[in-house]
Amino acid sequence: MKRNSKVSTAVIRRLPRYYRQLSELLEAGTVRISSSALGRTMGLTASQIRQDLFCFGEFGQQGYGYKVESLREEIGEILGLSRGHTVVVLGVGNLGRAIMENFRFSHNGFTLLAAFDVSERIVGTEVMGVPVYHADTLETYLAAHRVDVGVLTVPISEAQTMGDRLIEAGVPGIWNFTNYEITYDPARAVVESVHFLDSLLALCYMISQREDAARPENEAET
């Protein structure tokens, strides 16, 4: 499998979509699919799919298409899902608990090791079989366990501090749900920030555009 160090961010962002779509196709019993059919299910052109995949090697056969299971495994390998990444969650409030209870970490190649909080009501309990420790013990835990990703669901006021603690302890990846842009050194860690408001506002824009397009021309001018 060819590795291309100059793959664009746009292509990288589409890889998880390919993996998710192929997983759904596999669960539905689909054995083989063409780039055209895959494109229709994802809102992409066949040409775009072929160009994206070509960044990583030769996949599929002319006139035959892709073997769904094989292509899913290849993309999973490209994404690094077979490397056994480990995760801890910082903040077991409503959002943190929801992520722990509903996101299938193990199904996607991650092992959820532990969670951390400061609430006496939560510390010492388990969520989905995962122990919750006091945040004061974070560095001690990280020194004894290899952790690849820290999931941040703490209050905004604690986001930078907790992010710094993870990076100082050598955690290379942060999945940030705090709605706060953490300042960090890209040479030391990678931070993926999830802003729910961004998605909602983008949806608002697209709805507005659709509504404007549907309005009669004379009404739009008044």
Give tens-digit pLDDT for 154-191.
999 999 999 999 999 999 999 999 999 999 999 999 99
**Tally of structural domains, the chain:** 2
Q: Is residue 172 part of a domain?
A: yes
Q: Which amino acid is at 12?
A: I
85-108: per-residue pLDDT in tens?
A: 999 999 999 999 999 999 989 888
Are residues 61 and 14 part of one domain? Answer: yes
Q: Is residue 212 part of a domain?
A: no
3-state secondary structure of 176: strand
pLDDT value at 3 more than 60? no
45 lies in which domain range?
A: 9-77
CATH number at residue 71: 1.10.10.10
What pLDDT does residue 2 have?
A: 47
Confidence of residue 8 (pLDDT cuts 50, 70, 90): confident
Instruction: Say which range, 23-37, 56-70, 89-103, 106-120, has the weakest mean pLDDT.
Output: 56-70
Integer Cα distance of 24 and 94 in angstroms: 28
Q: Is residue 216 part of a domain?
A: no
Integer Cα distance of 19 and 109 in angstroms: 12
CA distances from 163 to 20, 29, 100, 102, 196 (A): 28, 42, 19, 23, 19
Q: Which of 77, 111, 136 is the last residue of a domain?
A: 77
Confidence of residue 201 (pLDDT cuts 50, 70, 90): very high
Q: Is residue 148 part of a domain?
A: yes
What pLDDT does residue 220 have?
A: 54
User: Phi and psi of 32, rounded to 5°?
Assistant: -140, 145
What pLDDT does residue 1 have?
A: 45
What residues does 150 pair with on adjacent strands?
Answer: 88, 174
Helices (H), the chain: 9-27, 35-42, 46-54, 68-79, 94-102, 138-144, 156-168, 196-214, 217-221
Q: Is residue 2 part of a domain?
A: no
Q: Is residue 169 part of a domain?
A: yes
Are residues 146 and 103 part of one domain? Answer: yes
Are residues 98 and 70 part of one domain? Answer: no
Are residues 187 and 111 part of one domain? Answer: yes
Q: Is residue 4 part of a domain?
A: no
C-beta separation of 15 from 55 below 8 A: no
115-144: per-residue pLDDT in tens?
A: 999 999 999 999 999 999 999 999 999 999
Average pLDDT of the chain, as a whole number? 90
- Under the phi-then-psi rule, with left for phi > 0, alpha for psi from -120 to 50, and beta for the rest, what region is 221? alpha
pLDDT value at 193 more than 50? yes
Q: Is residue 211 part of a domain?
A: no
Are residues 141 and 117 part of one domain? Answer: yes
Give the percent of the chain with pLDDT over 70: 92
DSSP 23-60: HHHHHTT--EE-HHHHHHHHT--HHHHHHHHHTT---S
Q: Which of 50, 77, 104 is the last residue of a domain?
A: 77
Are residues 122 and 69 part of one domain? Answer: no
C-beta separation of 67 from 31 below 8 A: yes
For helices 35-42 and 9-27, give the axis angle rounded to 10 degrees.
Answer: 100
pLDDT value at 38 more than 50? yes
Are residues 193 and 118 part of one domain? Answer: yes
